[in-house]
């Protein structure tokens, strides 16, 4: 099989995250390590209290609101600690001392993780648990009942590990919707104005690890506690425009560059979705046309456009697939350690051409191993 050249390797990184970034962004970042053009200094040595960095944050806040089509009663925060910190911050803010349980859904690996952390802070009602189906599908509407008394409903829009994605908005309009969009944020329009709080770490679609974007509606914080440590206090973070203490300047700058790319090069989230859909269709099509050689894991209607998870007929063949692919230059294809198999992640930075090359490789591999 043909081997990719070394200059092509970043473009064929199918890692579940940290994952591929647009190559034009990587080139800008590389330059910024020595010189940010507007400043003349390394991005690693510019003060977070500089005018330049205030402008970075302001533009990034504006870009996120613009891309999501959100009005100004939403705030954009750039926090540390990953989605995991949000697993706790959300219930610390909205659930402590409450009697009515918040509603959560165990839709996969991450849907389970968040429940474990939320339980420490207050009452939780798991209204759906996909464990018995092996997390191969998501709930249908007729399996879900949302109560108007719940302080909020929380769910994970895309289960990165199992390759499941909700293609609709859940919940009811009179209960705040809170969503972990870590692995599909800014990959497509998401009706953001129907949510009270959205969070997403950067390292899938929008940047490197080290920063988490939180989009939060004003009203949600009425009645939030006043005695939280300042770094866990959404209000304090909003007041400081995320510069309460030194933020992860570098990671934030890279996310700014990605949002510029989404806005100016891609042309917004509908255009991004079109590209992402093409990539997913191409790869799922290859699975479906393989006569069962490659078997998609997720129920068809819940297939993720971000993470295509599939199996071959044996562990041994899966391992050979992954190592042969790695030799050819396709990296990051191992399934998550919790379930094994193969996973190809098709985040924003992944080009259609690279998915085409993967499909060609898969056809070759099938021919040689049938």
Applying CB under 8 A, the site for a second copy has a residue count of 62
**Which window, 99-107, 132-140, 242-250, 298-306, contacts a second copy (CB under 8 A)?**
242-250
Taking the complex as a whole, the smallest distance from the CB of residue 97 to a second copy amounts, in Å, to 16
Taking the complex as a whole, the smallest distance from the CB of residue 82 to a second copy amounts, in Å, to 5
Which residues are annotated as catalytic? 110, 180, 204
**Which CB sits closer to a second copy, 219 or 327?**
327
324 binds a second copy (CB under 8 A): no
87 binds a second copy (CB under 8 A): yes
Taking the complex as a whole, the smallest distance from the CB of residue 252 to a second copy amounts, in Å, to 9
The contact mask relative to a second copy for 115-144 (x = CB under 8 A, - = no) is --x--xx-----------------------
Which residues is 342 bridged to in the sheet?
310, 334
**Which window, 21-29, 69-77, 288-296, 308-316, contacts a second copy (CB under 8 A)?**
21-29
**Which CB sits closer to a second copy, 144 or 240?**
240
Span 182-241, contacts to a second copy by CB under 8 A? 201, 203, 207-211, 227-232
15 binds a second copy (CB under 8 A): yes
33 binds a second copy (CB under 8 A): yes
Q: Which of 101, 139, 332, 341 binds a second copy (CB under 8 A)?
A: 332
Q: Which of 1, 38, 42, 327 binds a second copy (CB under 8 A)?
A: 42
The contact mask relative to a second copy for 251-270 (x = CB under 8 A, - = no) is x--x----------------
Taking the complex as a whole, the smallest distance from the CB of residue 169 to a second copy amounts, in Å, to 26
* Angle of CA points 313, 314, 320, to nearest 5°: 105
29 binds a second copy (CB under 8 A): yes
If phi over 0 gives left and psi between -120 and 50 gives alpha, with beta otherwise, what is residue 172?
A: beta
173 binds a second copy (CB under 8 A): no
Neighbours of 123 (CB within 10 A): 15
Kindly list the residues in this chain that would bind a second copy in the complex (CB under 8 A). 6, 9-10, 13, 15-21, 26, 29-30, 33-35, 40-42, 44-49, 80-85, 87-88, 117, 120-121, 201, 203, 207-211, 227-232, 244-251, 254, 331-332, 337
């Amino acid at each position: 099989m043909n081997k990719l050249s070394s200059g092509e390797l970043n473009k064929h990184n199918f890692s579940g995250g940290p994952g591929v970034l647009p190559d034009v962004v990587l080139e800008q970042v590389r330059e910024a390590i020595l010189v940010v053009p507007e400043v003349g200094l390394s991005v690693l040595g510019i003060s977070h209290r500089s005018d330049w960095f205030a402008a970075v944050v302001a533009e990034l806040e504006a870009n996120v609101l613009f891309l999501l089509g959100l009005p100004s009663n939403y705030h954009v925060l750039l926090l540390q600690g990953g989605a995991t910190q949000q697993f706790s911050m959300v219930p610390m803010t909205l659930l402590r001392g409450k009697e009515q349980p918040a509603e959560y859904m165990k839709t996969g690996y991450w849907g389970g993780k968040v429940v474990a952390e939320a339980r420490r802070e207050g009452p939780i009602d798991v209204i759906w648990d996909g464990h018995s189906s092996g997390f191969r599908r998501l709930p249908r509407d007729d399996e879900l009942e949302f109560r108007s008394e719940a302080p909020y409903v929380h769910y994970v829009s895309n289960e990165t590990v199992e390759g499941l994605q909700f293609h609709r908005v859940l919940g009811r309009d009179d209960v705040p919707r809170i969503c972990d969009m870590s692995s599909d944020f800014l990959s497509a329009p998401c009706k953001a104005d129907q949510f009270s709080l959205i969070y997403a770490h950067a390292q899938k679609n929008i940047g490197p690890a080290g920063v988490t974007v939180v989009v939060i509606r004003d009203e949600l914080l009425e009645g939030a506690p006043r005695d939280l440590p300042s770094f866990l206090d959404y209000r304090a973070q909003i007041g400081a425009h995320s510069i309460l203490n030194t933020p992860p300047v570098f990671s934030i700058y890279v996310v700014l560059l990605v949002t510029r790319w989404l806005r100016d090069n891609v042309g917004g989230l509908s255009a991004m979705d079109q590209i992402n859909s093409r990539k997913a269709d191409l790869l799922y099509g290859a699975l479906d046309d393989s006569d069962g050689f490659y078997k998609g894991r997720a129920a068809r209607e819940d297939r993720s456009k971000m993470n295509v998870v599939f199996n071959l007929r044996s562990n041994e063949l899966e391992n050979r697939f992954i190592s042969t692919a790695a030799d050819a230059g396709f990296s990051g294809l191992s399934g998550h350690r919790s379930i094994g198999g193969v996973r190809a992640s098709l985040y924003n930075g992944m080009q259609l051409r690279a998915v085409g090359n993967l499909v060609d490789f898969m056809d070759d591999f099938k021919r040689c191993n049938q």
